[in-house]
Structure 1
Amino acid sequence: MKRIMKWVLAATLVCGASVFTSCVDNSTDNPVVPEPGVPAVPDHFINEALMDKTVKPGDDFYMYALGTWFNSHKEGDRGYMESYDAINTNEVEKSLFASDNPLARHLVRNIEAPAPSLNEDVKAVLDYLDIQKPTGIGMLLTEIGKLQDKGLNPIFSKRVDMHMQSHSCQEIVSRGILTQTADYYLGSKQTDALKSYIKPILTAIDNVADPERTKAEGYEAELEERVSAILAEEQLIYATAHGGGDTSDSDRQGLWNVRDIPEYIEAGSIARSRATRAGGGVEDEVTRETLLEAFHPMAGAIFDESPAFKKYVEQKGGITTVLKTMDNCYDYLRYYAVMSVSNYMKARYVGQSEGAAKSIIVAALKQTSPFLMNKLSADVLRKMGQAGADRCLTMLEKMRTVFRQRLETLDWLSDATRQEALKKLEAMQFFVGVPDNLSEGEFTLDEGNTLVEDALSIMAQNEAIRHNMCGKKYEQQIRTIIDYEIDYSVQNAFYNCEMNCLVILPQFISEGMFPADDEYTQYVVATVFAHEMTHGFDAKGAKYDKQGYLRDWWKDEDKAKFEAKQQEMIALYNRLEAYPGQPADGEKTLAENMADYGGMTLAYSLFKQKKIDEGLQGAALDYACQEFFLHYAKLWLRYPTLDQKKSLYLDVHSIPQNRVNGIVTLFDDWYRLFNVTDGKLYLAPEKRVQIW
């Protein structure tokens, strides 16, 4: 399910713990004695054991820095940060199972309880939600409205979202919200896999609700038709969510900027108060009026006025154009309900280890309610990020200073645009780690609940708690929005355009990831912090002002220069390869590539100046800078399989290898430090795009 908060995802940073701590003994039989006052220059690199010096840096710097590691590992092995992610995630999970919090103990008991059969879990869902078979469109919309009140949004949605025009959180009526599983399969063009997921759910529903149906002649053929109808509805919702377009297994272009903040919501305020749902009485038509009558949105709610949603309403949300019959619509509502909690159905995990099943369920809880899991894991997460929080904030402020200095001296910006950019930079807020006190909101679970009933209850309570944000300006509740919407346990960092703030989560500032005694690792991890800062000035972030309003603060001539530089960046990445036979997509990955460039620029500038201030010069300074570039490559160490590379290609981030090879070629120092004068990566000086 696409999250309502459109956070700019920094990336899934991956790596291996054994690599993180790897080093080479610096002792030699005949050490070189430096001149007095001149720092000694080591005769090899810290992670030289990872390097493959048979590869020319100018052909593939990533493999030059890491090739020996790849030669001794296999596809799918954990890379650099993947290992720390696994360690830290396991620590959070263990804390949940050891917690004495009553809510945690309740969930753990149900997670560890014997697995019900699939049919038993499906029956629990259907009984809990009591979905009635609709006799017409009006009754169908009323049933959808009842599910919306419980945190489910099939066909049409009504939920709290960020509304740009009012710069506040509001309840918004729009198209349905896909379950995460359906969104994943459609996004990765695996329609057959989604069909194979839909079929057993429908079969289980029939086994519970109408077992005689499954024995009837022609059941399999009928089932296939029902599965196809549900698949077509999922495809329609997916296409509408992405502004329209093909969702078949053919190649698609331009549908994958999933990190975008929703510009499609236009002002369309609904002046009405929340009413008690009486059921029935809604006309058998899909219009704005019938949707509002059925869904009972709260005062100040917003109706989606986007062209994509208008077209969706014209298509009746697929009710008469795709699903076509009330029987199929009934199928869809029940399928959607079961699919929404399918990760809690332990019968699915037969054959998997108990530990793997528990981890999947805990991950599902984090997706269902990040806020609940933040509350249950707050102590261990605070402890995890405690050591690095102050160092991270100090580093961020230093990089803000470097960014300010660069903005002040850029020769392609006019003074008017420069001043607006400086104002935005100064107004940017940093949120690091977990706050001492999380926002208000409590959950309760009935003692007799099954695990799937717990999940459904959590969904409903989570949506009710999120209504606390309604009607308030973003700037009045930034921390609340973060607490409610972001899973603090993940290994990531985020920037939000509409609030002009960045968030660094605890894993990134844990002692392993951001070690106090490893300066090189500190500064290359800081490239990610600076990456987030630069998102405020990338192709999308630059459209928002210092308060997070969508406002054009650029002089026309500056905008033209900025867009020309973006085209250069696109061309730079188009020459790289995503996987064998597939060129990289520089346009799709533009914003993330710009942020990678900005992150590297700020962190490297800060690192190099620090070394100069410490008195390093000549060969000693060059060695330190070489180590920075090599450690930067190590940061992105990952060994994806071909299927994983194909999946990564669909993302808005470049693949790890290109995040290194594409960026280093923009730095004159890299060419000099590694003696790059030719090769596949070589760019002539005039081709090395310089932005910030």
Structure 2
Amino acid sequence: MKSNNWLWLAAPMLALAACSHKPNPADTEPKLTVFFDKSGMDTTVKPGDNFFDYANGAWLKKTDIPASETGWGSFNVLYNNNQKHLHQILEDISAQGNDKGSKEQKVADLYASGMDTVAIEKLGYSPVKPTLAKINALKDYKELLTYVADSFKDGDGYLLGFYVGPDDKNSTKNMPQFGQSGLGLPNRDYYFNQDEATKKIRAAYVAYIAKLFTLSGTDAATAAKNADAIMKLETELAKSHSTPVELRDPVKNYNKFAVADLQKQVPDMDLKDIFKRMGFNSDSVLVGQPKYYVALDQLLKSQPIDVWKNKLIFMALSTSSPYLSKAFRDANFDFYGKALYGQKQQKERWKVMVSTVDRGLGELLGQLYVEKYFTPEAKKRITELVNNLQSVYHDRIEKLDWMSPETKKKAEDKLSAFIKKIGYPDHWKKYDDVDIDKNGFYANMQSISKHDYKEQIDKVGKKVDRTEWGMTPPTVNAYYNPGFNEIVFPAGILQFPFFDKDADDAINYGGIGMVIGHEMTHGFDDQGSQYDKDGNLKQWWTKEDEAKFKAKTKAVATQYDGYTVLDNMHVNGNLTLGENIADNGGLAIAYAAFKKTKQGQSNEKIDGFTPDQRFFLSLAQIWRSKNRDETARMRINTDPHSPAMYRVNGPISNLDAWYNAFGIKPGDKLYKPENQRIKIW
């Protein structure tokens, strides 16, 4: 069974928008009257030395990370508030009679089935035993490949990183696509780096593999032997993997093959039979990282079949462990929670199940969420903000001094073509084929996984549906999707501290305004800029403009390369380049839009701060957070976002208005001479 650890495979169906609605709990909760946490500041820090600490230093000193969290900050607070709202919805509908097959029945019974830990405990690991028996019966690598292909329809799927999505060079058509896969550690570097922290993680991973074997009846000595062999196999697979930075290049990762040509590169994999068993037929496929499949083809026949079988057994146990008895859940947490992220204890069961329902049946639960917690008035206000920032972005492109009129026209056309999705889908996704029973948690999750795969496979060769969403409505996040050329803002993030309809413009533009500008700028970062207005991977820049743009982005990468975490780890400027460009652009656009408001043009102080100061302080406080050392280390290695401090200190050091607002002078640690401040958008 898939672990369902994704956030971006959600789709669509009908809006609850501006209809009359029941009394809204959001309307009856106490209204905020204070929108800036002055007590969280540390005014002993000069704003020009470390603005993040100036705005958040007192909060950082007095805030402890809860034992069940890997970090704590504005996102976490809002996420946990949303969890409480979703929990209340689930508790309320669980207490009422719900018609079989209704959205209320499905989300309530999925929640109830996962809360029944007594029933889950009684089953132990028996739900996954049929899968283990099938794997144990395999005789050679050809039978193993047959099983792997067949397993996708069962909601599992191993070794083949398969999904269906728009062809990057023909964005109206869905294509079967394959990416590198087969690893249990975060990325290839975890198999080869020789620092002590990574070595400890590798040791913990081998111990985790062995633990799952012992929990499923294997003696300790054999389990240890199996774990070592699996680790060696994964290390061989990792050699074929691209690095996180290499994965950011859309051109290098676009490899279209006629199936017959791909077959020549993987002679021991019967692609025609594999694809048929997976449920699709296509003359061509996209393969992001062909080296992985060449290596897989070779290793399938060169490695003992027993090692491959044990590899699949481990994968089946690991991905199923969150849905099995406590011993399996604990083993999974000890590695993926404690060892990788430093989490001290597991989350409360109700929080786990709220997240599970949101991931699994997100657009059913999402309908109930937006009806209660996202008003038509909020959607209207956010839409106005988005349109304001889009208008400002047009003006700024027009005034760029480094871009030719020819490229400007195409950039403006792309900006105008943005699909804007706010709050929730216009069309809600259906889950008619998902069978949910309050007495069968594992079976429920299997049914959801089968549905998810069928949803994927049904897209092959079909026209792309651009009404689909990649996040559920309660998600505290936002995104830009280059293939759709869309910006998406779920209802979950459209709340304080990012947005409040009663807050002054400085707070809203420094908060959600910056987020909106950030997502818009992703359309023009080092990756998004390679896609045209229709979402096609296509060159639309003049050579001269492209060269100027690359020089500017190189300067951004160099700036962030200089930042450190945990004393000796440097931010990877190339891994984080797209997000850093978006942070810098988002801040500049949000500030320019703020200056068009009545407050932005005044000097009236609130909380003792000018409008401009309040804008920048709002920005700093939406990013305030602290992480466990293990989490910080993991993010430096894997996350394309810079650490929170540098998402604040990096962009403001490039914006002239911040210098003026706080009187930043030469000698201040963040000071950059005006001719060294990086300005792209």
Shared fold (TM-score, shorter chain, > 0.5): yes
Judge conservation of contact 2:583–2:651 (CA < 8 Å) in 1: yes
Once the two structures are superposed, residues 6-52 of structure 1 have per-residue CA deviations (whole angstroms, 9 ceiling, x without a partner) of: 99xxxxxxxxxxxx96959xxxxxxxxxxxxxxxxxxxxx5433222
Instruction: Compute the displacement of 1:673 (Å).
Output: 1.9
8 Å CA contact 2:132, 2:313 repeated in 1: no
Q: How does 1:162-241 map to 2 (within 5 A)?
A: 162-167=166-171, 168-173=173-178, 175-176=180-181, 189=198, 190-205=201-216, 207=217, 214=218, 219-237=219-237, 240=240
User: Is contact 2:258–2:283 with CA below 8 Å preserved after alignment?
Assistant: yes
Q: Which amino acid aligns with 1:82?
A: N
Name the CA distance, whole Å, in 2 between partners of 1:457 and 1:4: 18
Instruction: Give the TM-score, by structure 1 length.
Output: 0.80
> Per-residue deviation at 1:383?
3.4
Report if aligned partners of 1:158, 1:295 keep a CA contact under 8 Å in 2. Answer: no
1:447 Cα deviation after fit: 4.5
Which aligned pairs between 1:142-153 and structure 2 lie closer than 5 A?
142-153=146-157
Mapped contact 1:665–1:682 kept (Cα < 8 A): yes
TM-score normalised according to structure 2 size: 0.81
Range 91-100 or range 351-360, more displaced: 351-360
Q: Quote the offset at 1:670 in angstroms.
A: 1.4
Which residue of structure 2 lines up, in the alignment, with residue 329 of structure 1?
A: 308
Query: 2:578 & 2:211 partners in 1: Cα distance?
Result: 40
SS of 2:572's equivalent? Answer: coil
1:498-545 superposed Cα distances (whole Å, 9 cap, x missing partner):
110011011111366411111232112210011000000011111110
Q: Secondary structure at the match of 1:264?
A: coil
Deviation of 1:257 after TM superposition, in Å, equals: 6.9
**Counterpart position of 1:494:** 479
2-structure distance, mates of 1:559, 1:389: 37
Residues 107 and 130 of structure 1, relative CA distance in 2, 3 Å threshold? farther
Supply the AA of the counterpart residue of 1:170: M
Q: 1:260 to 1:443 in 2, by over 3 A?
A: farther
Aligned to 1:66: 56
Change (3 A) 1:361 1:447: closer
1:662 alignment partner, one of 650, 659, 677: 650
> Shift in Å at residue 452 of structure 1?
1.6
Alignment partner, residue 347 of structure 1? 326
Tell me which amino acid in the other structure corresponds to 1:227: A
Deviation at 1:429, TM superposition (A): 0.9
Q: For the Cα contact (< 8 Å) 2:114–2:353, is it kept in 1? A: yes
Query: RMSD of the TM alignment (CA)?
Result: 3.4
274, 280, 285: which one pairs with 1:298? 280
Question: How far is 1:659 from its partner?
Answer: 0.8
- Aligned to 1:359, which of 348, 351, 354? 351
Give, in angstroms, the shift of residue 356 of structure 1: 1.0
Q: Check conservation: 2:109, 2:438, Cα contact below 8 A.
A: no
Instruction: Give, as a single letter, the amino acid of the residue that structure 1 aligns with 2:282.
Output: G
Asked if the contact 1:163–1:265 (Cα under 8 Å) also holds between the matched residues in 2, the reply is no
Tell me the distance in 2 between the aligned counterparts of 1:515 and 1:443: 38
Partner of 2:499: 514
The Cα of 1:269 is off from its aligned counterpart by 4.4
* 2: CA distance, partners of 1:360 / 1:182: 25
| 8 Å contact kept, 1:89–1:490 | no
Report matched runs for 1:91-102 at 5 Å.
91-99=85-93, 100=98, 101-102=104-105
Match of 2:72 in 1: 78
Match of 2:113 in 1: 110
Per the alignment, do residues 94 and 658 of structure 1 end up closer, same or farther by CA in structure 2, a change over 3 Å counting? same
In the superposition, relative to structure 1, how do residues 592 and 116 fare at CA in structure 2: closer, same or farther (>3 Å)? same
In structure 2, how many angstroms separate the alpha carbons of the residues matched to 1:448 and 1:50?
A: 45
For 1:450 and 1:70, how far apart are their aligned partners in 2? 43
**What are the superposed Cα offsets for residues 193-240 of structure 1, whole Å, 9 maximum, x if unpaired?**
3222211222233x2xxxxxx4xxxx5333222112223344455554
Distance 1:669 1:676 in 2: 10
Residue 126 in structure 1 maps to residue 159 in structure 2: no
- 2:556 counterpart letter in structure 1: M
**Structure 2 segments unaligned to the other structure (5+ residues):** 11-30, 99-103, 334-343
- Tell me, yes or no, if the aligned pair for 2:177 and 2:286 is still in contact at 8 Å: yes
Distance change in 2, residues 1:362/1:194 (3 Å): farther
Question: Which letter does structure 2 place at the counterpart of 1:577?
Answer: T
Contact 1:571 1:586 in 2 (8 A): yes
Going from structure 1 to structure 2, the CA distance change for 1:314 and 1:51 (only over 3 Å counts) comes to closer
- Within 5 Å, give how 1:185-584 maps onto structure 2: 189=198, 190-205=201-216, 207=217, 214=218, 219-237=219-237, 240=240, 242-243=241-242, 254-255=243-244, 264-270=253-259, 287=267, 290-296=270-276, 297-300=279-282, 302-305=284-287, 308-310=289-291, 312-316=293-297, 318-321=299-302, 324-348=303-327, 356-367=348-359, 369=360, 372-386=361-375, 387-445=377-435, 447=437, 450-474=440-464, 477-480=465-468, 482=469, 485-510=470-495, 513-519=498-504, 520-524=506-510, 525-584=512-571
Change in CA separation of 1:121 and 1:286 when aligned onto 2, cut-off 3 Å: farther
Partner of residue 137, structure 1: 141
Query: For 2:125, what is the secondary structure of its paired residue?
Result: helix
Q: Is 1:674 matched with 2:673? A: no
1:690 positional shift: 1.0
Q: Give the deviation of 1:329 after TM superposition.
A: 2.0
Of 187-196 and 177-186, deviating more is: 177-186
1:610 alignment partner in structure 2? 597
Matched residues in 1 for 2:105 and 2:188: separation?
A: 34
Total equivalences in the alignment? 613
1:95-152: CA deviation from partner (whole Å, max 9, x where unpaired): 2343242223432332232435779442221226752421122211111111122232
C-alpha separation between the residues in 2 aligned to 1:181 and 1:560? 34
What's the CA shift for 1:173?
5.0
Contact 1:664 1:670 in 2 (8 A): yes
> What is the aligned-residue identity percentage?
24
Contact 1:5–1:261 at 8 Å: present in 2 too? no
Q: Distance in 2 between matches of 1:109 and 1:509?
A: 29
Of the two structures, which has the highest relative contact order with CA contacts closer than 8 Å and spacing of 6 or more?
A: 2
Matched, 1:589 2:576: yes
Q: For structure 1, which runs of at least 5 residues remain unmatched after alignment? A: 8-19, 25-45, 208-213, 244-253, 272-282
Tell me: CA distance 1:127–1:65, structure 2 relative to 1, closer, same or farther (3 Å).
same
Q: C-alpha offsets along residues 303-361 of structure 1, whole Å, 9 cap, x if unaligned?
A: 4455x42453344263234xx22222222222222222211124145799997123224
Deviations 1:369-398 (A, max 9, x none): 3xx232233221343233421111111111
1:594-637 C-alpha deviation (Å, 9 max, x unpaired): 1001111111111122137x762598998110111111111111
Structure 1 residues 532 and 423, CA gap change in structure 2 (3 angstroms): same
How far has the Cα of 1:436 moved from its partner? 4.8
